[in-house]
Homo-oligomer: A and B are copies of this chain.
Amino acid sequence: MSLNYGQNSVGLVTAEKVLIDTPLTLACGTVLPSHELMVETYGCLNTDKSNAILICHALSGHHHAAGFYEGDDKPGWWDDYIGPGKPMDSNRFFIVSLNNIGSCFGSTGPTSTNPATGEAWGAQFPPLRARDWVESQKLLMEKLGIDRWAAVIGGSLGGMQAMRWSLEHPDKVANSIVIASSMRLSAQNIAFNEIARRAIKSDPQFFNGDYLKQGAAPRHGLALARMIGHVTYLSDELMGQKFGRELRSGDFTQGESAPIEFQIESYLNYQGDKFSGGFDANSYILITKMLDYFDLAREYHNNPVEAFSHAQCDFLVISFSSDWRFSPQRSREIVDALIGAEKNVSYAEIESDQGHDAFLLPNPRYEQVLAKYLSRVADQLEGQAT
């Protein structure tokens, strides 16, 4: 079957809903007696279960990271980097990708039924922190019988989980791969998130988060939220190259009052509308709050070196030159703290005009860095296994 999709593709994939029936105590104190996670895996777990990679998704991500669903011609969101012979080589690694709790692609979240009320959680879903995702992933790990991840990897919020893993469960991670991420959000990052949340909340269809009960959805607000986010994911240069000041309609002639629409306007409006049809507004609020909240070193006297001194794994940190959401400077801060804590760290600043989104997109140098690092990891594992 998978031949249809090319020899470097993991081919047809299906997602599985996994019930985690161990209670999960969230950072806020709420206990989820059980929860469900949508999970996909690529490749095979080796006999000593040492070749597993955990993929951590970002704000709007999900479990479908690679391969194709039946009848679908668009692969998973990280398909460029996952597959046979790709940097996350499914011939060598067992790759685990899940949709995290609080999100809206089938895992337990605001659109799921709250067992206490029999209704959708909606805005009553408990606040989450990145560590809650890590703890939920840890329960999944146990369920899969994996004792140690060969690597935990993620971009943006995904990188925050990869860092958190290294501190919370130092003996369970061999490599932490932190891409286009940051140890904490800046005031400007928080500002954009807050504007996005306010856009959602001021949509009259939001009903204080109870829109599901009303059969409604704050789609206008969510579209706006996504448009704001989208601008921060792209670089100024890239938008200039892709759209410049090209018009979609209207013209500049004097004496002409027909409205002008620039291509960039049309593109952004389309992106906003598309997103708002497929994402849940309460999840968006919940996960942007999680981002704002994240502060790697808060519980380590605000000292990142002290924080990372708890880690036992090796690190690969990657940033992109035109990323202004989490700029290379943020990654250099991570690297400095890791060096201060005397950890093994490799760092690559990748030249790219793609902005923050670069971590999702094809880039030969990025691919090479990731492939070399992970192939060394696989070599070591395979060396040990023989």
A244 interface residue per 8 A CB criterion: yes
Across the interface, do B231 and A191 meet the contact criterion of CB distance under 8 Å? yes
A381 interface residue per 8 A CB criterion: no
A264 interface residue per 8 A CB criterion: yes
Residues of B within 8 A of A186 (CB): 236, 239-240
Complex CA gap A185/B228 in Å reads 18
Copies of this protein in the assembly total: 2
Per-residue B-contact encoding for A115-144, CB less than 8 Å = 1, 0 else:
000000000001100000000000000000
A295 to chain B, nearest CB (A): 7
Q: Which of B227, B243, B257, B293 contacts A195 (CB 8 A)?
A: B227
Instruction: Report the nearest B residue to A327, measured CB to CB.
Output: B236
Q: Which of B220, B254, B262 contacts A27 (CB 8 A)?
A: B254
Complex CA gap A272/B191 in Å reads 12
Per-residue B-contact encoding for A223-253, CB less than 8 Å = 1, 0 else:
1100110010010100110111100000010
| Chain A interfacial residues counted at CB < 8 A | 54
A248 to chain B, nearest CB (A): 11
Across the interface, do A198 and B224 meet the contact criterion of CB distance under 8 Å? yes
A269 interface residue per 8 A CB criterion: yes
> Which of A37-45, A149-157, A199-207 lies at the interface with chain B?
A199-207
Instruction: Report the nearest B residue to A185, measured CB to CB.
Output: B245
Complex CA gap A228/B194 in Å reads 10
Across the interface, do A187 and B257 meet the contact criterion of CB distance under 8 Å? no
Q: Are A245 and B187 also in contact (CB < 8 A) when A203-B202, A227-B195, A265-B194 are?
A: yes
Instruction: Report the nearest B residue to A226, measured CB to CB.
Output: B195
Q: Which of B188, B240, B254 contacts A188 (CB 8 A)?
A: B240
Residues of B within 8 A of A242 (CB): 187
